[in-house]
Structure 1
Amino acid sequence: MGQEHGMAAAVSDLRDIFPGDSEMAREMRGRDWAATPLGDPRNWREGLKIPLRMLLTSRFEMWLGWGPELNFFYNDAYIPTLGIKHPVMLGRPLQEVWSEVYADVADQVARVRNGEATWNKALLLLLERSGFPEETYHSFSYSPLQDADGSVGGLLCIVTEETERVISERHLDTLRRLGLALAGKTDEAAVIQAVQSVLGLDRRDFPFALMQLADGKGAISFHPDSDGLRSLEWDHPADGRVFPLNAKTDWPAGPWAIAPRDAMIVPIPGAPDQPAMGSLILGLNPYRMGDGKIGDFATLLATQIGGALANTATLDRERQRADRVWSHARDLMVVVGTDGIFQSVSPAWTRILGHDVADVIGRHFDDFVLPDDSSSTAQALDEAIHEGDLTGYENRFRTADGGCRWISWHTSMEDGLAYGYGRDITEQKRGLEQLALAEDALRQSQKMEAIGQLTGGVAHDFNNILMAVHSGLELIRKRIESDPQVERLIANGLKATERGAALTQRMLAFARQQELQTEDVDLRQLVLGLMDLLQSSLGPAFDIRTRFPPGLPCVHADTNQLEMALLNLVVNARDAMPEGGTIDICADLRELAAGDVPDLGAGPFVQLTVADRGRGMDHATLARAADPFFTTKGVGKGTGLGLSMVHGFARQLGGALQLESTLGRGTLAHIWLAPDKAQSPALVPADSEAELPVGSRQVVLAVDDDVIILMNTAALLEDLGHEVLEASSGAEALQIMQARPDVSLLVTDQAMPGMTGSQLIQHLRADRPDLPVILATGYGETPVGDGPLVHRLGKPFNQAELQRAIEASTRAAVAG
């Protein structure tokens, strides 16, 4: 019994020294330490036991050495670093454990023995933990361990292996530098030089590298000490990744003490579905044997090289194609120096202008440009050289027979020379006196529309001011005692507001533009009637195609305005295709469901479409295309009001403008119009004989975002004997309607932020379809109501007009 108790106590003592159930804790408890110079662990000094407990309970890589020989202790996290030396090296002297690198750290060990701590960041250590020297990197600190008497009894090392990080970052840096070196290389020789500069700089991964191109140019060595590599056999299969090197050959070793034992052959990929463009032979780092990732790294290098070589091959083909284009292009191509001298001109010069090419090269442009265009041409060339490329610059050149031709130029600068591309636009110039006049009329119409919008906005705000003044004067007249002088002043004020209201009505009439003269329009006949004008004006570079199905109904529209809208869309299509192309004009009868087209309800509509195959619009541009003053045509080339005019015209007819576009694929512009005989909702006759309780007191909800107008409207209603609830927004009005189901009349402004009066009415119709509504608005364009239950009241209004509106809306509700 005593012996068993003694054994249990011994085990308990060892668990106190070697705590935990880790692999190394169990290994240390099972080791016969009495047979080592360290002796029985129960007799070890506290200077060793304390850090040993910390080491065994930590998940960080740690080891410690104790005693004169720094006998080696380590934890589980350090086992991978030790490799095949585990667990044999437990308790062995440090110099024996890491004999291969001890010389690299011996000076630091000596400093620690003197009580100094050391630190190393990603130190290169060639460790033999797998049976061969291996390139590794470790960040670690050496800290002295003090004994009870204050002397240094050992050292503690906390270590982090950073081999994978260091080598991965090295690979990424090589790939980055190779990518930068290859960027912009335009020929094969430049690509080879770039690869040589990168692979010859850091040779730790590949002590030597060669490249064999498939075009038979032979092997290219990338290192100054590897000329002998040119004799290397290249008969290994392209898919043979790694092969041994002849040990008798003195291979370049790069920064390492020993030469590579193996090499890798990697194909340089060509373009997709094309054979390899060559091969790379790469000597492998002798200290990274078995590195499974080196093949992926080599493949990435080869891919970058292959991409650069493919680009140069493509550029070579493009140069050849450019030569063919230069020789056979129907348009002018020229190269002009900064002095205005023609360096080169394409054969098209002779075909277009009649001069022999040899007579043009070496001469100044002044010898060929019309005198009237000489100054502007010199200015344009200076702009192209110093400020930016020309786009669509036009001038006139003399022909060999004494005539002249209009040329439209686009330029770009390269190496101090202006490269010009000129298109003969003479025929377009002649066909454009007529389109220009139409465009002038269109621009004038657009300007008038913009002025109308501004005028309408001013008139609306002025109406609100007049409304407050007029209603206030009316109520004051009722509440003050009779005074002739005050009465005259109030009367003059009311007359002034009436004159102001008349002025705003004229402004609103202007803002609505001219009155539409609507009639039944045959779209096919209308387009065919414009074809001569459109086709001759656009010129031979454009082809207009039309399609109209048989039986297409007429539309109810203003013929002149519809022609202007169509012309506007065709001009936009032309501008989207500066090189020319096909413009389609077609129409169809479509049955729309609710929500198919924004702003349109369900029912039959005629869709008139103008389609181009131009540059198209991205999502952001498409979203703003119909906004007033928005344009993508550049300064002075568009007002930005054309599409907004078409939009307003279509909306005024009860239709809509819809744009569909994809960047790079063109644009579809649809004008939706109601077909002939479209029926309007029937109105309740004004002389309905239904009983009308006009004198009864009502609960009225007044809604207006203008506090002054809201207050005066409420005062007018209360003066008429009604109970008035007030709301300053549509959202607040909806809340009041939920709380007060006894509201019998709604008086609302139209133009309110967040929710318009029309939108408020739509929200209320779900629960109160029979609620009479007075829609007060100062805008010239009357919102579309929902039948006789919505009565429009123009701003400014007086109390009598408000009373009549209440009577009319109440009468309609009773009749309904």
Structure 2
Amino acid sequence: MRQYDWSSHPFGAPENWPEGLKIPLRMLLTSRFEMWLGWGDELNFFYNDAYIPTLGIKHPSMLGRPFREVWSEVYDDVADQVARVRGGESTWNDALLLLLERHGYPEETYHSFSYSPLYGPSGSVDGMLCIVSEVTERVITERRLNTLRTLGMELVGTSTRDEVCQAVSQVLGVNRRDFPFSLLFMGEGDEQAAIACTQDAADLLHQSWPLGAAGSGPAMIALPARAAYPVGAWAIASRDALVVAIPGADGETPVGHLVLGLNPYRRRDEDVADLARMLVGQISGALANVTALVSERQRADRVWTHSRDLLCAVGADGIYRSVSPAWTRILGHATDQVVGHHIDEFLWPDDRQETAEALSLAASGTDLTSFENRYRTVDGELRWISWHTAREGDLVYGYGRDVTEEKLNAEALASAENALRQSQKMEVIGQLTGGVAHDFNNLLMAITANLDLLKRHMPDDPKATRLIDGAIQGASRGASLTQRLLAFARRQDLELVAVSVTELVRGVGDLIMKSAGPGVELRYQLDEELPLAMVDANQVELALLNLVVNARDALRDGGCVTIATERVVLASEQHLPSGPYVRLAVSDDGVGMDEETLARATEPFFSTKEIGKGTGLGLSMIHGLAIQLNGALRISSTPGEGTCAELLLPVTEERPAAPAPVAEPSVTPAAATRTILVVDDDPLVAMSTVDLLENLGHSVREANSGAEALEIVRSGEHFDLVVTDYSMPRMNGGQLAIALREIRPDLPILLATGYADLPPGAGIDLPRLAKPYDQSQLQREIAKFFGS
């Protein structure tokens, strides 16, 4: 954008652009989400780096061009939404299909996006903001997985080749986006069966197809441009087709072929060949089952011998009458060790009752489908078996497939979903702590300011001064706590320094002793030669105290808490790089935790303490801190024996910085008296700020809302400075600043906020003063405007 020659553009130089364009443009360019905005009558196009892949070859030539020109191929699809946005309405689209020409040809893409109006100086809609997420791969992957799942379900229970062909034709006839037409050829020579999966593809069966081109893998063939082919879900016909061999029982000799017309809007789709392989794999498996059924009827003994899955015959009494050799291959038991024995001898103990009920149901004549239970191998391992049954006479015949690997994959998926839920919980914590800390900072602001003024007006009384200093110190600790909560919730940068963790532990020894209480024996095992670690000292101190409190609470009738530091070398653990680490451990000999409790120990809001005695945030905050420090939190516990919590922190070669001299803050009357407008919806905070400023010698006017402040300034009253809170109802401090700048562009404005950072979308760039603040901090910020 800097290299673009804006002097030749209708908008002219960027410094002359309206604020209504520059403010959202500033937000857009610094965001990692895909975003673009259009401005002006033609919605001239601006976008950020994250949006470049969506543009493809249109980048960078489309910068500043009209929206209708940038996406001319799909503009008609969204034109009605553009009109609604110009009328002041926002729109939303979930996975909208758009045929974008970003690589030189129309391409099937899906996008979830919102259109929002942007208002100009006159209050009219002068532009449009789009926040977009491309979901093409997700939509197409889900569509293909659904095709595979549906085909698998349709093939279950097929017992003849015709039933298999019917199932394939039915499923492929539905997915007309990946395959606008599909042909199925089964068998060879005069016995070959040719099937069109949709009626409009029937004429294609008369063409000559190069089925032999599909050797060891799918073969791509170009379709004649002038021939007429079914278009399926699209407006144009396929350009290419895929010929895929259906492997036979030997895995090599084909028993049939699929001819699949390919999506004309997915020219570089390398994954479609994998999809075709999986489809023919399912078909091949179904045909193999059909062959197995036929062979069973003709040569039952041979099928029984060579089956890869478990086959058995069992009586209603649970005694095995016969089992296939697959039992030995899958479970390790010799067949003569199974026949004549009860089913319970091989089941996982927890599944015996449910299996007995299922066997009773099967023996009564109800066929079981996909009944799953667990078996023990000869080595004691666990295997999941999915059963289909049929009753004949007094016996239940079972067909069992080993689905252990599928179960493990499902557990991995569940773990990923759990990680996503954990991330969402942490987002909730961020929102909660942000709002609570803001309100708490307002209260601390009033306390700190009034204590500061009280101290300055008190006579020289050492005891009173000590009491006031203690109250100020307590308020400062409260402010520090809220800032740490916000820093964790918003993932802000930590103040990293190289420190000795052993010295850090000694530095908070008094606090550890007070936190543990008189009934707890404290033991230290500290490494005096411990290497330095790069940490935020305040955060690690807070984490250490939190772990000590947890250890204390785990001791029922007193006990011992041990704090240890040492250097450890990890090979590879908890996704940590191998190398040296500093280990800070807090262990106790308390009640301990069972496996279920231990698994949830770092979940937000999870607590084993009584109501009112714990928030459930301590360990989750420590876990988050460890991750931010490129380390890990490791917890081990045994019920009745105690718990050990370990912080693993990477070793650093940096040396500790020399401590900076701490200057006692001084407050002197201002060199020049200023007229200042204080705006805050909290009367207590406003009064405190007014008192601080008046004590410095300034002339101060108070307003308790943005509207009141605007009315005062519009009345013509002169002010040298405005000090305003950010979070106010109806009109926040950022909106007030924008309105004041329209009246007095040169008016200095200082934004006071209880947030560690302004919420996303605040869109205001002003000097800021963090709450709570004292008189010396306030004086320093004013001096930055006037030099005094």
TM-score by length of 1: 0.38
Q: For the pair shown, which has the larger CA radius of gyration, 1 or 2?
A: 1
TM-score by length of 2: 0.40
